[in-house]
Amino acid sequence: MAGVGKAIGLGAAAAAAAGAAAAGVAADRAAAERRRLNELDPADGFAHVADEELKVIATDGLNLHVEIDTPRDLDPDLPTIVMSHGFCLSLRSWVLQRRAFVQAGYRVVLWDQRSHGESEVSDLAGCTIDQLALDLRAVIDATCPEGPIALVGHSMGGMTTMAFARHSPELVRDRVMAVAFIATAAGGEGLTDLGMGPLVGRAIGQVGPRLLSRLAPHQRWLAPVRRFGRNVESSFVDRFSYDSPVSEGLVRFTADLILATRFEVMAAFIPAIQGHDELNTLTTLVDKDVLVVNGEGDLLTPPAHSEKIVERLPGSEHVIVRDAGHLIMLEHPEIVTGQILTLLHRAEVAAAAAVAVAEKPRVRRTIVDIAKGRRVRKAREGRDGREDRAGREGHATGRPRTKASS
């Protein structure tokens, strides 16, 4: 029996090793495909230098990192766009939108939510959506104490915006011109399912924080491990962030954003996100122009979450983007940017004409990013064409075929 048990154990180990090897091979192939698409990345890359940086003091004394971009010829009548990022991200996730908004003439305020990016790390008691709402109020008071504003929130940033509306209804009533909710939810139920059902969601909610807290002291050793399994990590990030072909450069940028977040911070905010419930708060926004954008393939906040927001807001606009995941503003930046700019224009026109938002029809649209599809095909065909030409030339001249660089 001992021999049989040993044989079974060896067989199981061999099967596990074979499975890991197969996963590694698949990840390597996926990484090679993503590298072919690196020309999809913005010409200016993903780095950005703000016009102004400052620290804002939160109600509990924590330092919040804030950045401001201001166009040269600023129209004071235009709203300031205040942008709040998502869980395990930072204000850097808005890099493509902030550039476009400034180019369109808008002043933009971005901030790192507490314990994210360059903001200070909060104690456990401060890791709540309510505290994030107070932080957002502090940022607004410090950077745009007067004049119209537009609020844009992605994922947890959208939750922050909803809680802010509950905490500061008078500011919302008097100064908020428009609100954009990007890949977010008004309730926390199902947000940890990862597209795999409520059983997985409950397990992550119960076990995840404890596991992350135990791993936190060892996070400094993660860098060498990440380098060793970079392609597997990229495949995981790609899977839960995107739903269309993206470049290796974008996936690496995303992975670095996510894994810059400390494990204890992840552990602290998971219960806050699960306990989030602002469905009733949405009534505060019934007279505001509201845009709700979601990716059809979003595994973290699928369209059903967006639909619940839209149901509470007559006159809102619900846009679903096909072949889009949770980080839709990086995956389909032109669509997200264009929809927000259209929202602002719509709000400006409505304000000038004194049109009540509640009287507008609720609009639901599904959009396909045709332009991106063309760029993907062009990138793939360009690479294949170079390789085919190199092969034909090598065959005709007797030289060995050379591989085109990516």
* 217-223 average pLDDT score: 60
Q: CA-CA distances (angstroms) from residue 320 to 47, 306, 315?
A: 28, 9, 16
Residue 208 phi/psi, 5-degree rounding, is -55, -55
User: What is residue 402's predicted lDDT score, i.e. its pLDDT?
Assistant: 32
- Comparing C-alpha atoms, which of 213, 193, 230 is closest to residue 28? 230
- Comparing C-alpha atoms, which of 176, 184, 124 is closest to residue 154? 184
User: What is residue 70's predicted lDDT score, i.e. its pLDDT?
Assistant: 97
Residue 5 has pLDDT above 70, yes or no: no
Give the three-state DSSP class for 281.
Answer: helix
Query: What would the pLDDT profile of 130-164 be if each residue is shown by its tens digit?
Result: 999 999 999 999 999 999 999 999 999 999 999 99
CA 34/CA 24 separation, integer angstroms: 15
31 Cβ neighbours under 8 A, 6+ residues apart: 230, 231, 234, 235, 248
* 98-122 average pLDDT score: 97
* 200-221 average pLDDT score: 55
pTM above 0.75, yes or no: yes
Give the confidence band of 399 by pLDDT, cuts at 50, 70, 90: very low
* 188-196 average pLDDT score: 56
Give the three-state DSSP class for 60.
Answer: coil
State the pairing for strand pair 80-84/63-69. unpaired
Q: What percent of the chain has pLDDT over 90?
A: 60
Query: What would the pLDDT profile of 246-270 be if each residue is shown by its tens digit?
Result: 999 999 999 999 988 888 888 889 8
State the pairing for strand pair 108-111/63-69. antiparallel
Query: What would the pLDDT profile of 10-36 be if each residue is shown by its tens digit?
Result: 343 333 333 333 444 456 676 678 888
Q: Which amino acid is at 353?
A: A
Q: Which residue has tokens 């929809």?
A: 339
Q: Which residue has tokens 């235009």?
A: 78
62 or 199: which leads in pLDDT: 62
Q: Residue 209: how many CB atoms within 10 A of its CB?
A: 19
140 Cβ neighbours under 8 A, 6+ residues apart: 82, 109, 149, 171
